[in-house]
Chain A
Amino acid sequence: MHKTDSIAPKIDRIPADERPERHQILWTTLLVAAACAPFARYLDGQVTAFLALILAIRLVALHRPAALPNRRIRALLAFAGLGNCLAAYHTVTGQDGGSALLATMIVLKLLELDTKRDLRLVLILLGFLSVVQFLFDESFQLTFYLGLIALGLVTLLTELNGGLGAAGLRPALRVSARLALQAIPLTIVLFVLFPRLTAPLWSLGIDSSRGLMGMSDSMEPGNISELAVNGELAFRARFADRRPDSNQLYWRGPVLWKMDGRRWTPGAPPSDRQQPARLIESSDPIEYEVVMEPTKQRWLFALDMPVSEPEGTAISPDHQLLSNQPVTALKRYNARSVLSYRTAEPDERVRALALALPDNVTPRMRALVEDWRTPGGNGSDGREERADDWTLVQRALAHFNRENFYYTLLPPKLGANPADEFLFETRSGFCEHYAGSFALLMRIAGIPSRIVLGYLGGETNEFGGYTIVRQSDAHAWVEVLIEGRGWVRVDPTAAVDPSRIDNRVATELLGAGASVRFDLGEAAALARWMRDLRLLGDTLEATWQNWVLDFSAQDQRRLMDRLGLGAWQEYGLAVLMVLAVSLTLGGILLVLMRERTERDPLERLYARLCRRLAGVGLPRLPHEGPGDYGRRIAAARPDLATDVGGFLALYVPARYGERSTPETLQRLSNLLRDFQPKAQSVQSAFKGKVTASNGG
């Protein structure tokens, strides 16, 4: 009872044309539900449940208005919604919490749709909700879907405005489809030319709670194996002219110096005295462009060794290419690398760091290394024939090859001293086991070593002309410091006898990513076909990424350069944008002006008759109906009266009555074919003839 008391007066005050109709509320509710649907994947379960509950109440209330909560309950629900978001995220300002709150409030507004204004507010805010979703997902599919939602909201706004003549959504849909089509060129112009920010204005904290798949900055048994079965994209690379062989594609990432007995961590030497990384010798650089997925880390991947620093990046002393900001969005950069090189020799401090040993080095590890150093052992003559460092490296690699080391992605679990257990007991593992234990053995032998994480190889996409590197291409290798040669890359994993590579797991788990380390025979035609299809899909995705997701200020600058307006900088862009937008709008107006709504065939025939009569100097006046026109023609040109009269006698009842049949149309068109009026005077007869023949 109280409810009706509080609501009734308010509703009475709303003018009739501001009161929304039932179907308008229904469609708006459905559109809100559709806009929230893809969001459910990212929202906390309890927030989704709350949204669903409110939507359900709204739909029920359409049938039973009594189910609509009154103002007091609505206030309670609003608090409940806020509390629900807080309970789920502990904040409502971050990306997750903020968008959850936005969705909650929009849905709650659905319970209060007294006027069309309320509906308009909900519809306009749906645009905002759509944009927020792009912070979570940038796929083509979602873009298409949200484009449809946008079209829906334009349609409903049109429907709310009314005055369209017919009932139902169809007229509004027709209007909004026209609006959308005409808006597309303008959208493209704005998208291409609207000046972008090169750095964010503020940061509301992109949540770091949501972990991104990718490489971590430490190495512990088991880390990379997670990646190895992950077919997700790491980055795409496009080479300027030639693509090196796959086994040359060592994509260099973080460098690890420190070993605590189990984990390898960065612990790079302090760089204050270290000058930027220097290469003493190098081959011709190769150039390539990388489009990298966000990692929330600073490192970028470049081929061993990077020699150029793209804008906003720097090369660290241990030759890592580092971005100045964590990579939170798709990152594109042009890099240059040399494939053969000689690094400068580091100083003593660095050398000491690269020799630091954990405290769990076992005697049998030392014995193994000693055995490589002096293969003769403690010879009877006691003479030591000590091998040099590089020979020792070769012997270590030979050891991995000769002994029963297995490559597998599902190695047995290792205990407290993984390196020891791996070397002498389990003897099966993958790159991180090999690289970790190899680097450790080198340090025991007195050869400075460090681990490099990154990716190896990548799949060539012939359609797109680029190389796809997936998480499953993740790899770890070792660099050893050799006197006179600098840091030298050694890949102990590659030393494993190919016959002992167990790629069974890889075949099962990877499916998608075939890496260079495993030559998965692609004998089956079906497999090849599937692969082509997959590559084609990837090409489309890459194009989408390249031209839409990653379009940036640099691309705009490049565009300006190409137009010869590079010197104008951002102003030029702004001027160009204003010009282009005006021109596009002008074009749209022209289209509007010249547009003819579809005429029925009857009217087309009449228009042809009028054109022919106009050709002999008797145009129809704008206000003249067919009857008046016919009488005027008959008065001015009695010779045409029969023809015109005959036409009109058929046309008028067909047009204004209800007797329009295909036969009528046919007869009218026949009449028209025979009707070739000639101008009266001899002088203009020629002109009339020309016009008539043109008109036919």
Chain B
Amino acid sequence: MSQVSDSLRERAYRYFDGLLRRVPPGPDGVARVGGRQIYIVPTRAGFMYGAVMLVMLLGSLNYQNNLGLLLTFFLASVGLVAMHHAWFNLLGLAVQARGGSPVFAGERARFEVAVRAEGERPRHDIRLRKNGETPTPVHIGAGDQALVALAVPTEKRGWHRLTDVMVETRHPMGLFRAWTYVATEAKTLVFPKPAPQAPEPGHDAGDSPRPHRTRHEGAEDYLGSRGYRPGDSIRHIDWKAYARERGLVVKQYGGEQGQEVWIDWARLNAPDPEIRLGLLTRQVLDVSAGQTRFGLRLPGAVEGLSQGTAHTERCLTRLALFGHAQD
């Protein structure tokens, strides 16, 4: 029962949220919050504050106690001024989001949002929110910027667009919640969710295996680390190094060259294309873990025989965007 009403409420919220104005990104890709795009509503504490003020007002009026009125008006004025401060705290805030490295469907897509306090005012208690998680408030000094990471759950392959971020503040007294929706064009690529297991991809009969001894990435032996470059597989990211705040580092492997293999849409017979894509993804991942050179054949697209992280990435991107417009 309560679940039904919860989901109803959620849908109602989402509907009304959809009606609210968005802050459009400017020509430089940065969205700057305008006055008319900020919404303010009292918080629970704000309603409580208002109720107590009302009681104080009625009591003071009734007993014709001018000092009581004076104090009531003072606190009420502070509340009103605080409301404007909340509004003002968001006004002119510059927000820019960008997508993170690709993820597999079901994982959380990462976005990085830069919030800048342009001008000469510091911004207090700025919270970024997407999908109702509890955000951490940040403080941004005048002229400074804060980077906030957002992790958004994904379901489907393809481009995952952030579309908008809620920027929220309860500064200064927590009596009012001011928020604005910032529209963004940030997107993160979502690969199909790999099937738990997949049949062995067929070897190509035409080519005989030719051993190479050139140094290529993607093979078994650990060669060392280098900085992350777009297109690197997230499977090779050294997460431990990332956790130690050494930035995104990719482990490189090299070694013996293996055989050649074609991963082929036509060889699978699962009826649902999404399941088929999941199986293909699993095959790509399995094969790329070994030392095999591989190619990918999809209806209307072929990725030639190659090897290495960048190649794997290209194949996975093909699978992610299969049947989508290539944007």
Q: Hey, which bits of chain A sit against chain B, CB under 8 A?
A: 15, 17, 117, 120-121, 124-125, 127-128, 130-132, 134-135, 138, 143, 146-147, 150, 154, 157-158, 160-166, 175-176, 179-180, 182-184, 186-187, 190-191, 194, 196-197, 200-202, 206, 329, 548-552, 585, 588-589, 592-593, 595-597, 599, 622-623
Contact = CB atoms under 8 A, between A and B. Distances in A.
A131 B71 contact: yes
A164 B125 contact: yes
A592 B84 contact: yes
15 contacts: A130-B71, A135-B68, A143-B67, A150-B75, A163-B137, A163-B139, A164-B125, A179-B78, A182-B81, A183-B80, A191-B66, A197-B64, A200-B62, A201-B58, A592-B85
A552 B53 CA distance: 20
Contact of B52 (A125, A134, A160, A197): A125
Contacts of B81: 179, 182-183, 186, 585, 588
B121 to A, nearest CB: 6
A134 B80 contact: no
A693 B73 CA distance: 49
Ranked 10 nearest A-B pairs via Cβ: A163-B125, A165-B139, A163-B137, A183-B77, A186-B77, A161-B174, A190-B73, A134-B67, A157-B173, A131-B68
B170 interface: yes
A197 B62 contact: yes
A266 to B, nearest CB: 28
B117 to A, nearest CB: 11
Nearest to A595: B121
A147 B65 CA distance: 16
Contacts of B34: none
Interface stretch (B7-15, B42-50, B106-114, B319-327): B42-50
A125 B49 CA distance: 8
Contacts of A550: 66
B325 to A, nearest CB: 31
Contacts of A135: 63, 65, 68
B70 A191 contact: yes
A175 B67 CA distance: 25
Interface in B106-150: 118, 120-122, 124-127, 134, 136-139, 141-142
Contacts of A125: 52
**Majority SS of interface residues in chain A?**
helix
A166 B139 CA distance: 9
B69 A183 contact: no
A65 B60 CA distance: 39
A684 B52 CA distance: 63
Contact of A157 (B122, B137, B175): B175
Given A131-B72, A186-B80, A202-B62, A17 B136 contact: yes
Interface residues of B, number: 59
Contacts of B48: 120-121, 124
B78 A180 contact: yes
Nearest to A162: B137
A549 B70 CA distance: 10
A161 B136 contact: no
B124 A164 contact: yes
B309 to A, nearest CB: 34
B62 A187 contact: no
Given A128-B52, A163-B124, A176-B172, A190 B77 contact: yes
Contacts of B126: 163
Given A552-B64, A585-B84, A592-B88, 6 more contacts: A17-B136, A17-B137, A134-B67, A161-B172, A184-B77, A622-B118
B77 A187 contact: yes
Contacts of B52: 124-125, 127-128
A131 B72 CA distance: 7
Given A158-B172, A165-B141, A588-B81, A597 B122 contact: yes
B84 A175 contact: no
B20 interface: no
A124 B49 contact: yes
Nearest to A137: B67
B171 interface: yes
A154 B48 CA distance: 14
B65 A179 contact: no
Contacts of A201: 58, 61-62
A161 B58 contact: no
A175 B124 CA distance: 10
Contacts of A160: 174
Most buried by A among B64, B134, B136: B64
Contacts of B170: 161, 163
Contact of A134 (B44, B49, B71): B71
Contact of B80 (A127, A549, A585, A597): A585
A163 to B, nearest CB: 3
A128 B73 contact: no
Contacts of A599: 120
A127 B77 CA distance: 13
A588 B68 contact: no
B94 to A, nearest CB: 9
A692 B151 CA distance: 51
B76 interface: yes
A615 B223 CA distance: 58
B55 A128 contact: yes
B202 interface: no
A154 B84 CA distance: 15
Contacts of B310: none
B56 interface: yes
A558 to B, nearest CB: 16
A208 B28 CA distance: 72
B275 interface: no
A15 B173 contact: no
A131 B56 contact: yes
Most buried by B among A180, A190, A201: A190
Nearest to A134: B67
A196 B81 CA distance: 23
Contacts of B136: 17
A161 B177 CA distance: 11
Contact of B171 (A17, A163, A593): A163
A135 B64 CA distance: 10
A138 B67 contact: yes
A196 B61 contact: yes
A191 B73 contact: yes
A147 B270 CA distance: 76
Given A127-B52, A128-B55, A176-B172, A190 B84 contact: no
A180 B85 CA distance: 12
B59 interface: yes
Contacts of A196: 61, 64
Contacts of B174: 120, 157-158, 160-161
Contacts of B84: 585, 588-589, 592
B71 A146 contact: yes
A309 B68 CA distance: 30
A147 B74 contact: yes
B134 A17 contact: yes
A269 to B, nearest CB: 34
Contacts of B175: 157
Contact of A187 (B74, B82, B121): B74
A596 B58 CA distance: 39
Contacts of A592: 84-85, 88
Contacts of B49: 124
A15 B134 contact: yes
A22 to B, nearest CB: 19
Contacts of B127: 163
A551 B70 CA distance: 11
Contacts of B53: 127
A154 B125 CA distance: 16
A681 to B, nearest CB: 29
Contacts of A157: 45, 173-175
Nearest to A192: B73
Nearest to A593: B88
A143 B68 CA distance: 9
Contacts of B134: 15, 17
